[in-house]
Amino acid sequence: MKWKEETVHLGARFDPNHAGKGWKIAEVIPNGPSDQTISKIHPGETILKVGEEEISENAPLSAYLNRRPSEPVNLTVADKEGKQRDVKIMPISYSAARKLAQNARIDATAEAVDKLSGGKLGYIHVARMMWDEFEKFEHHLYGQGAGKDGLVIDVRNNGGGFTTDHLLTALCQPQHAFTIPRNGGAGYPQDRIVYATWNKPIIVLCNQNSFSNAEIFAHAIRNLNRGKLVGVATAGGVISTGSTKVLDAGSMRLPFRGWFSAIDGEDMELNGAQPHITIWNQPGELSAGKDVQLEKAVQTLLKETQTTPGYPKEKYRSAR
């Protein structure tokens, strides 16, 4: 079987300001190789050796970590007091590490929303407007929405896809009735509707890296008055394209459909969705754990949930 040598990832980030030999651990990616019980490494510890080879100053990672992806890595690790131990790690690819890091950021953001709102709001991140993400969205409507007064929906850095109308079906379902089950509260039986739905308040986060169908979603939320947009204007790259051949040279994307607002006829191409509240995250803030766009969204949505009417008081005919 053929295999390709690559630079593997240990599931940890190193301190770029560390002076001296070895790699000092700045951060361990949750659920990664360095976060496992049998191979746990802690922030502040230093990897001194890979196998029997000492890690020299300024040496590139590839000098020590180029190997088969399925090959374990034997490390010598020193704790903060200098005590050394051997750690055997099964590494992962850089793409797998990025996915784990992204999941960790999403979990941290959800926790931040819960903390900032005092447990009153939920958070759903939509990474792409694709079917697998929509299925996750439906699950999150239950998981993140249970017992909450509102939802923060995040389409920042979303490259697009096709699921806007599915999301809108879940978020804009007409309310024609409500039910009260025996020993239960007011609501609507979810098995009677096509998708899991959410009729309580929402707010949508978007930014300059929200593209294509994510922009169509942002435009729709604003045009339908379903909720406020917070962040910065989306990219303005809204046009349907398909692949077409260019003789024998390959293929290119060919536009075949334009998108226009049903409110005023405005072209969405080169015309990003404009937030109700424009606010930029400044360089260095996100990496330091500060997200002013998120903070503003939570603050704004909390105010809106205080004035949102619920179901009317039920009036039983038998009581008349």
* Count of C-beta atoms within a 10 Å radius of residue 175: 9
Residue 163 and residue 225 in one domain: yes
Q: What is the CATH number of the domain that holds 24?
A: 2.30.42.10
Domain that holds residue 50: 6-92
Final residue belonging to a domain, choices 30, 57, 92: 92
pLDDT over 70 at 214, yes or no: yes
Whether 310 is covered by a domain: the verdict is: no
Could you tell me if 46 and 114 lie in one domain?
no
Residue type for position 30: P
Mean pLDDT of the chain: 93
Asked, for residue 313, whether it belongs to a domain, the answer is no
On whether both 74 and 26 belong to a single domain, the answer is yes
Same domain, 144 and 177: yes
Listed residues 92, 117, 138: the one ending a domain: 92
Q: Indicate whether 132 and 64 sit together in one domain.
A: no
- Whether the predicted pLDDT of 299 surpasses 90: yes
The average pLDDT across 199-220 equals 97
Whether residue 116 sits in one domain with residue 79: no
- Helix (H, G, I), strand (E, B), or coil: what is residue 262? coil
pLDDT score at 301:
98
Q: Domain end: 92, 113, 141, which one?
A: 92
Q: Per mean pLDDT, which range of 130-139, 197-206, 280-289 is the poorest?
A: 280-289
* Angle at 214 (CA atoms; ends 286, 134), nearest 5 degrees: 95
Binned at pLDDT 50, 70 and 90, residue 21 comes out as confident
pLDDT-derived band of residue 189, with 50, 70 and 90 as boundaries? confident
**pLDDT greater than 80 at residue 303:** yes
In 29-149, the DSSP E strands lie at 46-50, 53-54, 66-67, 73-78, 84-89, 121-125
- Whether residue 275 sits in one domain with residue 158: yes
The confidence band for 88, taking pLDDT boundaries of 50, 70 and 90, is very high
Are 71 and 122 in the same domain? no
- Quick one: 122 and 75 in the same domain? no
The average pLDDT across 65-70 equals: 88
For residue 143, the domain's CATH number is 3.90.226.10
3-state secondary structure of 245: strand
147 and 274 assigned to the same domain: yes
Question: Which ranges of the chain would DSSP assign to H, the alpha helix?
Answer: 62-65, 94-116, 131-143, 164-171, 213-223, 292-305
**Local confidence band at 248 (pLDDT 50, 70, 90 cut-offs):** confident
In contact, 32 and 41? CB cutoff 8 Å: no
**Total number of domains in the chain:** 2
The answer to whether the beta carbons of residues 39 and 90 sit under 8 Å apart is: yes
**Residue keyed to tokens 């015309």:** 271
> Is there a single domain that holds both residue 22 and residue 129?
no
| Claim to verify: residue 128 and residue 39 sit in the same structural domain | no
Q: What is the mean pLDDT of residues 221-246?
A: 94
Whether 83 is in a domain gets the answer: yes
